[in-house]
Amino acid sequence: MTAAVADAPVIVAARRTPIGTAGRSLAACTAADLAAAVLTDLAADARTGTGPRASLREVVLGNCMGPGGDVARVAALQAGLPIAVPGLTVDRQCASGLAAVVLGATMLRGEVGTVLAGGVESASTAPWRSWPPRGDVPATRYERAPFAPSGLGDPDMGPAADLIAREHGITRAQQDEYAARSHARAMATQRAEGFAAEIVPVGGVSCDQRPRDGLTVERLGRLRPAFDPAGTVTAGNSCGINDGAAVVTLVDAATHRRQGGRGLRVIATATAGVDPRRPGLGIVPAAEQALDRAGISLGDVDVVELNEAFAGQILACCAALGLEPERVCPQGGALALGHPWGASGAVLAVRLFSQLARGDAGRYGLAAIAAGGGQGVAMVVEACG
């Protein structure tokens, strides 16, 4: 082990809320409510003795569609964290949660302390947005901010996924098969209580809402294309619109050595850009760069967690990476669990922690996620302790 790896920050705890379908189980919770529930849990975590309060340097949260302002600061105060602890909210669209974890790890390189980092999204309570009137143009409501300048291409994610699937020759049947497998894996994990240790109940809700039992390729095959009548992307092989939060506790290497216990050492990270017309491919260069910086190959990775925004997009990324699709999200991914945009990257980190630190799934893990505007974020971790 090199000195740089030995001194890398370590994830020592990881929690998330249940993931709810927008407008349903968590609909009454704001983004701050969801994040505060997880921050409160981690701040008092018995796993770190008296919790990380005494050494807490920062709270960093990713968020895309929240109320504006600094959601991380509001959630930290709502969680009862000391007022001296600052909060920072970051926006890298769907990659915001993992970007926050990467930023938290960067803050601890060469420094001593604890950072709580993750992401949150409440699609249910996201405010309506509108452009103000301009001259003869009336006020106009809009669903999202631009991902990229229109001249470069600024597609919605669904049509972009159709384009990627078509260009990479991913068939409808392949997408439906992948989606059915994600749901089957998530249901099997849920029945075995494989998510229980990572979930912080909120408002009486203690399990993920979206996974479906018995969702077969045949049932998925009855759904119509969602974005293009000639396309292959449907509601069944796409992620949902969801609410949720996920946060990890990061400590410096010396603190981890002193405290002991299992954890995930953050040995490499990467952020990359791709064609904004094909944003879902951002996973590919980010994962490649992170693995190269870690000095390992995909063959060395024991658990691969890629954000399953669309089955066709993930299958295209797998083809580009030379990765067998069966290796992705072994306990089910976002197609089944849901995709709470600003939180999803942090959910990947929580999932790695459950499998590699709480469980015995192996040594190395890879998390990677794409984002609107053509970006990708990836992180390579190593089980330690």
User: Catalytic positions, please?
Assistant: 94, 339
Could you give phi then psi for residue 307, rounded to 5 degrees? -70, 115
Short-list 372, 379, 373, 376, CA closest to 353: 379
Q: Residue 258: enclosing H or E segment and its boundaries?
A: helix 253-259
- How far is 107 from 281, CA to CA, in rounded Å? 28
How far is CA 334 from each of CA 114, 165, 341, rounded to the nearest angstrom? 28, 18, 10
Short-list 384, 115, 365, CA closest to 262: 384
What token pair was written down for 307? Answer: 């954000």
Q: Which residues pair with 183 in a beta bridge?
A: none
Q: What residues contact 218, with CB distance under 8 A and at least 6 apart?
A: none
Structure-derived torsion over alpha carbons of residues 186, 99, 18, 70, reported in degrees to the nearest 10: -160
Identity (one letter) of the amino acid at 337?
A: L
Q: What residues contact 289, with CB distance under 8 A and at least 6 apart?
A: 270, 272, 378
Q: Which residues pair with 61 in a beta bridge?
A: 89, 118
- How far is 212 from 236, CA to CA, in rounded Å? 11
Rg of the chain (C-alpha set): 20
- How far is 165 from 220, CA to CA, in rounded Å? 17
Q: What residues contact 1, with CB distance under 8 A and at least 6 apart?
A: none
Q: Are 288 and 209 in contact (CB under 8 A)?
A: no
CB atoms within 10 A of CB 253: 20
Q: What residues contact 359, with CB distance under 8 A and at least 6 apart?
A: none
